[in-house]
Amino acid sequence: MLYADENSFDIGAKITRTKPVLLPIGAVEAHGPHLPLGTDNILASEYSARIAAETDGFVLPVLPYGQVWSLQDFPGSLTLSNETVTKVVVEIGESLYKQGFRLFVPVSGHLGNMAALKDAARELYAKYPDMIILHIFYPNIQKLAMDVREGKANHHTYIHACEIETSLMLYLSPENADMSRAIDDPPILPIDADFTPTPWQNFTKTAVLGEATLATAEKGEYLIEKTLKTCVELIKLEQEKIRKSTEME
Amino acid sequence: MLYADENSFDIGAKITRTKPVLLPIGAVEAHGPHLPLGTDNILASEYSARIAAETDGFVLPVLPYGQVWSLQDFPGSLTLSNETVTKVVVEIGESLYKQGFRLFVPVSGHLGNMAALKDAARELYAKYPDMIILHIFYPNIQKLAMDVREGKANHHTYIHACEIETSLMLYLSPENADMSRAIDDPPILPIDADFTPTPWQNFTKTAVLGEATLATAEKGEYLIEKTLKTCVELIKLEQEKIRKSTEME
Amino acid sequence: MLYADENSFDIGAKITRTKPVLLPIGAVEAHGPHLPLGTDNILASEYSARIAAETDGFVLPVLPYGQVWSLQDFPGSLTLSNETVTKVVVEIGESLYKQGFRLFVPVSGHLGNMAALKDAARELYAKYPDMIILHIFYPNIQKLAMDVREGKANHHTYIHACEIETSLMLYLSPENADMSRAIDDPPILPIDADFTPTPWQNFTKTAVLGEATLATAEKGEYLIEKTLKTCVELIKLEQEKIRKSTEME
Amino acid sequence: MLYADENSFDIGAKITRTKPVLLPIGAVEAHGPHLPLGTDNILASEYSARIAAETDGFVLPVLPYGQVWSLQDFPGSLTLSNETVTKVVVEIGESLYKQGFRLFVPVSGHLGNMAALKDAARELYAKYPDMIILHIFYPNIQKLAMDVREGKANHHTYIHACEIETSLMLYLSPENADMSRAIDDPPILPIDADFTPTPWQNFTKTAVLGEATLATAEKGEYLIEKTLKTCVELIKLEQEKIRKSTEME
Amino acid sequence: MLYADENSFDIGAKITRTKPVLLPIGAVEAHGPHLPLGTDNILASEYSARIAAETDGFVLPVLPYGQVWSLQDFPGSLTLSNETVTKVVVEIGESLYKQGFRLFVPVSGHLGNMAALKDAARELYAKYPDMIILHIFYPNIQKLAMDVREGKANHHTYIHACEIETSLMLYLSPENADMSRAIDDPPILPIDADFTPTPWQNFTKTAVLGEATLATAEKGEYLIEKTLKTCVELIKLEQEKIRKSTEME
Amino acid sequence: MLYADENSFDIGAKITRTKPVLLPIGAVEAHGPHLPLGTDNILASEYSARIAAETDGFVLPVLPYGQVWSLQDFPGSLTLSNETVTKVVVEIGESLYKQGFRLFVPVSGHLGNMAALKDAARELYAKYPDMIILHIFYPNIQKLAMDVREGKANHHTYIHACEIETSLMLYLSPENADMSRAIDDPPILPIDADFTPTPWQNFTKTAVLGEATLATAEKGEYLIEKTLKTCVELIKLEQEKIRKSTEME
């Protein structure tokens, strides 16, 4: 299941057009006092492993650097440009295509990567129309979060080091969440935050966008299992498309 | 020691101008039947950890994709362009600079990355002359290999899935080397191999550039410990330079 | 109010740091049988004029070409790449900065431009931190649309040639909407539409993403006036910021 | 005739290989006290409309931003780089090609765009050798200007806000020329003006490169009608080429 | 006088702000049966040497590759892109600036390079406003050619392997012109040649754009000496500017 | 033999798939007091001429600008970026391919160009797999130098203005080596010189990396003739490959 654990002699037999290849992508980014800088890498890796387990997919090594514009000035954060993230993903996609794969699934644990992934997907689609690229960030999690959130929603799309993301960690990697240091710091976002470049230090000192103390593994389980189900459905749908187009050839 | 395990609240106090930050870089690349595709990632990570242990450094998450031109057509190999590897390393270096670090040490487990790393180092040097970048690939290993090699040397710079590299794995990560499948396949390199683009399938079917069966942990220990000593010396030398230039400010 | 109607002798006296400069951006794109290809240009121009009227702003000439990925294969559509839209907007922003303006407001009538505008805003912000860039697409229209929509919502963000966008035209430019040709064609979007590159011809033959016949000028008035109010508030907020930072110099 | 007024349902039937598609390109640039910043946009649009009327062509929306290097420091001027103008025009050309057009006619009202247009034409020609691109700036106007000019010629190629260009406006858009403010300010160009980068503020304070008071609608008529005739001949010549090559397929 | 003949120990004393540094640029391009492919390189080198002799300048090694779009499909022609010519010249200019020079004079023997040189000059001007760049191609030669031409002028700017250019060679490098093979082949240029990409094979089989048999060393002498005088005047003018701005510092 | 001396009428008959086309590449770079800045250009040109003489090859005009990072701050040095050298060589290679050549041999007299040449070769190989590119810098000269060197070897790859390179000049172009000014200045390279960007002024004031006084024409002859023999063998090997692949078509 872990692509990099395979060897060159044996992997050939496992390469098929419908095999999903999952690329976990995260970031090194401030996540408050209770979660590590590598939170999004851990989540992307664990989540990808779950998807792979249900779809007999390969999990590539995590790409642990992402686009961290909003939090780049917080201690410890590292950022790549959108352009560079796109290039890396496109070139990995090209390599996979040449290897014979046709279903490439970048799975981000970090919302900031999604614009780059969408660009990468379109670029690959233009070059290799017979490869399908699924770009995934916990499908529909914003809606599902309403079902479990006890604290305040601070923004229609952000989930960061808060009740929600901490819950994901408590379910997927509890040993990496130090709840003894969890804090609540729901910010008031300025009304222009979505309309003008707004580094997050403008409205939070902690990078905890909510009430981390409200996080539970149960909430994480709900969100992961629900979104995971969608991921599996999406992959099966794409596999079906590939099968049909292969038959038609 | 693992950078990504730190959190944003605590890392600030650990950021100093002389703290070495090690970036392990590897590749996903064919390494014969006995070593996994991720060999260079494992080696770069383990080797970086050793350096960090001796120099009180930080180890960043491994960048697991590299420039794999020569072996790109072997099953399982994935490649980035030189340009993209350079961009990623430059942008990570810029982030580290802005965080306050001044000693950045990309450590590659894959020779193919070194041209990109040299370019990245020069680009960063031009922008941030007060940051030192050390680009490392087992310093002087080609000479040291002469001390332990029992098989043939096939090339003046390549060490790949052979007696030498397999020995490194037997010392640093024996659980990832399956010696029961090790083979000997020393190639005869065409005389123009260094002078014209030469994919390795032109001269090897296995990607094992030598006699993997001759590998031992002892040989690996010799090579790792000797080169490691040089790495530590280099880092101390650079730290001394930084200290001096800081005093002069 | 129209920037290009000014002459070089007189405009100097009108250039201030708080003067908002609005750049309408649209696209040439299929909009069904009842709306012209230039719909987004008309809307962006009219909407910008309204904003300018309320804020004493300048309206630049409309940039009539945009990123039209999803509908590029429909008759008449023309598309620029994200990268090119970003470059144009950045260079216009740079020129405005050099002219002395500090409040630049790209106003798109086309959702597909927003990723490029966000990139442009961040690029300008990095270069000219004392210029504020507001990137606007009818603020919060998706939520407001719920208040007036009688037909079905087909997607959480798309409004295209449907009840909603046609209503905007009936309010802002009724002479350009031919309601005698309006049709209803609400599509069923595939569940993977947000997760994989999906040209719209995959799910619609008309490019009318809803029930255009339900459009009314009243609905348009509600949406325009409500969102306009937010635009005006945003501009006043930014002007206040500029005034404060100017005082501090 | 106005491309953007068409709708997606009807335009398909009007797309043919010989249909000329005119792209007016101008600039926002200082034009003295009597002409607006948007002068070149107005001229390009009006002139394109005349060409379209005689050749049954489509007129695209004016691209109102151009390369304004020489006058970029005058109040109100906005400039794009050559590279960006080229990219926009190439991408519009590509879209037109995919739509089925084969005769693309960028028409500039601004001399500064011509280098970018030539590059764009060559780039499109290399990609789509069966599309013809005509890049037009009042063909041969420098020679024809000698027939009507009463004032001094200041340069062998420049016509800017002077007797000549003001005459074009008086003929094509008299409502946008305020002759009560027309001035005469023929500059003495330094002898190195063509051989070294020379911003125009080095030799003019007004940007009026001649005697605007000598402008008349009659002179404009002569220049427009003469050059227009050439445009029409050029288009007919290209249409004939397209017809022949189509027959040969 | 030849820059590359200097050595590193002695050149330092000769570097001054007013010293002109001439960069001859040519091309490898078809020039009919009587002139070699390297004609423009020979001319640029010889001409630069004359300028240097009169202005105590340095002559850099000739850049022997240029932009040869129009004749690229003729036997023997080699071409660079405009972009690449620009990059080379900009980087040479940057090096000269860092060495302490302030007067950089690219001298082309090939008209096709002039657009790239103009771009390079503007790029250098933006970066180093205190360096002057003169881009030279036989100043005003088109007008002067009227004084000596006995054959037909085929185009208002082209002089290629014809009476005029062959005369330049007969004066500057007679040993490289084989008049026994000179031919007359004045083409009729299509009327759209200046308005659409037009490879020269469309109108000439020989690349001799005129009557080479009418060439004489006397005509060459007239053109070279007249244009040379302008070059010297230009350089003196720029030196005066540099002197004045240096005094003001 | 000199490509640029050919004319367009005659060269066609000499273009074959196996004809080697040699591109000498050098640099303008400090070479101590006894060798000129253009040393590498002279060497590359002379050496290429020898290769051509033995292989009936064409010699292109020398590209006299190269990547001079390490010595860029010495008086007189000029540098291009790696990227630009690569672009120039790729575009020359493309032109040669279109002309019908299939064996392109860039021959550098400057070690600093080799990374760019390797990149260029790979780029051309990817585009034109049926063209062979040989990138040459005195094959194996470092090993051969051990046979003749009387002074100290200062580095495993550098040969610069020292006993070795001066010997090459004494053999290939004695009139350009002023032995009366030759000096000995063997530097002690810092141990991190290969691992971090290290401008050579950090360890040498003369740029003479060794004992130039020990140079002799005999040593030069040995090195040139030995390496030349390898070049000829390489070219014959590639010609054989081309012949075989041509037969198979």
CA–CA distance, E82 with D144 (Å, rounded to integer): 31
How much of chain E exceeds pLDDT 70, in percent? 100
CA atoms within 13 A on the CB side of B104: 29
The single-letter code of the amino acid at E14 is: K
Contact C105, C25 (CB under 8 A): no
Banded model confidence at residue B10, pLDDT cuts 50, 70, 90? very high
Q: Record the tokens describing residue F156, joined without a space.
A: 């495993």
Chain D residue closest in CA terms to C176: D5
Tally Cβ neighbours within 10 Å of residue C100: 12
As for the ipTM of the complex, it is 0.97
The residues, any chain, with a CB within 8 Å of residue B157's CB and separated by 6 or more, are B111, B142
The 8-class DSSP code of residue F234 comes to: H
pLDDT of residue C158: 85
D73 reaches E (C-beta below 8 A): no
Q: Could you tell me if residue B62 is left (phi over 0), alpha (psi between -120 and 50 degrees) or otherwise beta?
A: beta
Distances (CA, A) of D1 to D4, D21, D232: 9, 9, 16
Q: Is D103 helix (H, G, I), strand (E, B) or coil?
A: strand
Closest by CA to A93, choosing from B63, B66, B80, is B80
The single-letter code of the amino acid at F87 is: K
Task: Mutate one of E84, E90, E192, E240 to test the D interface: name it (highest D CB count within 10 A).
Answer: E192
Closest by CA to E133, choosing from E116, E115, E121, E119, is E121
Chain D residue closest in CA terms to E198: D122
CA–CA distance, B5 with B60 (Å, rounded to integer): 9
Average pLDDT over residues E164-186: 98
CA–CA distance, B86 with B108 (Å, rounded to integer): 13
F134 reaches E (C-beta below 8 A): no
The 8-class DSSP code of residue A213 comes to: G
Tally Cβ neighbours within 10 Å of residue B157: 10
Q: Record the tokens describing residue E167, joined without a space.
A: 């005369």
Per-residue pLDDT tens over the stretch A106-159: 999 999 999 999 999 999 999 999 999 999 999 999 999 999 999 988 787 888
pLDDT of residue A247: 86
Distance from CA of A182 to the nearest CA of C (A): 32
Per-residue pLDDT tens over the stretch A231-246: 999 999 999 999 999 8
CA–CA distance, C168 with C162 (Å, rounded to integer): 10
What DSSP assignment string belongs to F203-229?
T-SS---SBGGG--HHHHHHHHHHHHH
Contact E189, D114 (CB under 8 A): no
CA–CA distance, C189 with C170 (Å, rounded to integer): 26
C170: enclosing H helix or E strand: helix C163-172
The residues, any chain, with a CB within 8 Å of residue F203's CB and separated by 6 or more, are F187, F188, F189, F190, F193
Neighbours of chain F (3+ CB pairs under 8 A): B, E
Looking up tokens 């860092």 gives: E98
Distance from CA of C120 to the nearest CA of D (A): 14
Is a pLDDT exceeding 90 seen at residue D153?
A: no
Looking up tokens 């020079």 gives: E101
B118: enclosing H helix or E strand: helix B114-127
E217 reaches F (C-beta below 8 A): no
CA–CA distance, D4 with D7 (Å, rounded to integer): 8
Contact C138, C71 (CB under 8 A): no
CA–CA distance, E40 with D213 (Å, rounded to integer): 46
Set of chain B residues whose Cβ sits within 8 Å of the Cβ of A41: 4, 61
Of C8, C41, C80, the CB nearest to D76: C8
Distances (CA, A) of B77 to A125, B37, B38: 21, 7, 10
Q: Record the tokens describing residue F1, joined without a space.
A: 């033999």
Closest by CA to B8, choosing from E227, A74, C193, A185, is A74
Strand partners, C60: none
Closest by CA to A117, choosing from A200, A22, A38, A17, is A22
Task: Mutate one of B78, B88, B98, B183 to test the A interface: name it (highest A CB count within 10 A).
Answer: B78
Average pLDDT over residues E17-24: 98
Set of chain A residues whose Cβ sits within 8 Å of the Cβ of C144: none
Looking up tokens 């649209």 gives: C26
pLDDT of residue A39: 98
Q: Which CATH fold topology does E3-247 show?
A: Rossmann fold (3.40.50)
Banded model confidence at residue C109, pLDDT cuts 50, 70, 90? very high
pLDDT of residue B149: 96
Contact A36, B7 (CB under 8 A): yes
Is a pLDDT exceeding 80 seen at residue C4?
A: yes
Q: Cβ-count burial of A203 within 10 angstroms (0-12 exposed, 13-18 middle, 19+ buried)?
A: middle
Set of chain A residues whose Cβ sits within 8 Å of the Cβ of C69: 122
Q: Record the tokens describing residue D17, joined without a space.
A: 């290989």
∠ CA F163-F165-F168, nearest 5°, is 105
The single-letter code of the amino acid at A154 is: N
Distance from CA of F24 to the nearest CA of B (A): 15
Banded model confidence at residue F153, pLDDT cuts 50, 70, 90? confident
F37 reaches E (C-beta below 8 A): yes
Q: What length is written for chain D?
A: 249
Distance from CA of C222 to the nearest CA of D (A): 26
Closest by CA to E61, choosing from F25, F16, F17, C5, is F25
Q: Is F7 in Cβ contact with E33 (below 8 Å)?
A: yes
pLDDT of residue D193: 96
Contact E208, E161 (CB under 8 A): yes
Q: Cβ-count burial of C231 within 10 angstroms (0-12 exposed, 13-18 middle, 19+ buried)?
A: buried
Per-residue pLDDT tens over the stretch A30-49: 999 999 999 999 999 999 99
The mean pLDDT of chain D is 97
CA–CA distance, E204 with E210 (Å, rounded to integer): 10
CA–CA distance, F46 with F40 (Å, rounded to integer): 10
F76 reaches E (C-beta below 8 A): yes
Task: Mutate one of B155, B192, B201 to test the F interface: name it (highest F CB count within 10 A).
Answer: B192
The backbone torsions φ and ψ at residue E61, rounded to the nearest 5 degrees and listed phi first, read -60, 140
CA–CA distance, E48 with E54 (Å, rounded to integer): 10
CA–CA distance, D6 with C38 (Å, rounded to integer): 8
Query: Can you say how many angstroms the Cα of residue F185 is from the centroid of all Cα atoms in its chain?
Result: 24
CA–CA distance, E133 with F181 (Å, rounded to integer): 35
Per-residue pLDDT tens over the stretch F237-248: 999 999 999 888
- Helix, strand, coil in percent for chain F, rounding step 5: 50, 10, 40
Banded model confidence at residue E248, pLDDT cuts 50, 70, 90? confident
Closest by CA to A148, choosing from A136, A133, A163, is A163
CA–CA distance, B20 with B101 (Å, rounded to integer): 8
Which has the higher per-residue pLDDT, D10 or D157?
Answer: D10
CA–CA distance, A248 with B14 (Å, rounded to integer): 60
D150 reaches C (C-beta below 8 A): no
Strands (E), chain B: 20-25, 58-59, 103-108, 132-133
Q: Record the tokens describing residue C124, joined without a space.
A: 């300008």
pLDDT of residue E151: 93
Closest by CA to E56, choosing from E24, E89, E15, is E15
CA–CA distance, F184 with F201 (Å, rounded to integer): 16
Closest by CA to E51, choosing from E112, E122, E109, is E109
Q: Is E197 in Cβ contact with D122 (below 8 Å)?
A: yes
Average pLDDT over residues B128-144: 97
Contact F139, F231 (CB under 8 A): yes
Per-residue pLDDT tens over the stretch B139-161: 999 999 999 999 988 787 888 99
Per-residue pLDDT tens over the stretch D200-233: 999 999 999 999 999 999 999 999 999 999 999 9
What DSSP assignment string belongs to C187-222?
----TTTTTS---GGGT-SS---SBGGG--HHHHHH
Contact D78, C96 (CB under 8 A): yes
Is a pLDDT exceeding 80 seen at residue C249?
A: no
The residues, any chain, with a CB within 8 Å of residue E28's CB and separated by 6 or more, are E37, E38, E41, E64, E65, E66, E68, E76, E77, E78, F3, F4, F60, F61
Distances (CA, A) of C192 to A116, B29, F128: 18, 32, 39
